[in-house]
Amino acid sequence: MEKIKLSEVGLTNAPSAIIGLTVDHNVAQVTVDSLSKVEYASLISGTDKMRYTQLRYGSSSGAGSRILLFVPISGLTDKVDATGVLGSLFVLRAGIEYSPMMVKADIVLFRSASRLIKDMNVTGAWGGGDGSVNFKLGHCNYNGQLYLAIKLNTEYSLTTCFQGFYTSDCVFRNVIEEDVTDWTDL
């Protein structure tokens, strides 16, 4: 088996390569740019805001509790103008100095002027010293803007990847809990 040193893999805000096994069980490094990606704009969603993606990365660094902001929700005007996400969120944290976390969470989180639709099913979860994963859907203020968000129970740097449907106004921004105000569980 061929070994690939971690120092040979470029690290930026988004992963540049994935290391895995080939069909004949050899270790290979594949650049993220060479993977097939789908960004699809739905033409019949009512407001032309719906998108689909296979790979939507986000990462954070530094210490502090994590919140992933999905989408701003102020200024919605009518029942058609919905905003939010429907898909799977993958959360990864690895390292020697702290406990790894590997989680898949299926999420529905949409808001219109008159209705909130929310559901989350955390599957395939393992994380932290005690192995517990306690994510919470909610909303909060960040830089004076109200956002739909998810609170991730980790104090360490992490990488997120979203796969599914989202509205074009989604931001997928990882922030530290200290930088938000008025967190409310949904």
Residues 89, 162, single domain; the answer is yes
What is the pTM (predicted TM-score) of this model?
A: 0.71
Name the residue type at position 102: M
pLDDT band at 7 (very low <50, low <70, confident <90, very high): very low
Residue 25: domain span: 1-35
Integer Cα distance of 100 and 164 in angstroms: 25
Integer Cα distance of 63 and 143 in angstroms: 20
Residues 104, 147, single domain; the answer is yes
- Span 38-51, mean pLDDT? 60
pLDDT of residue 153: 79
Name the residue type at position 19: I
pLDDT tens column, 118-142: 999 988 777 666 667 788 999 999 9
Residues 31, 49, single domain; the answer is no
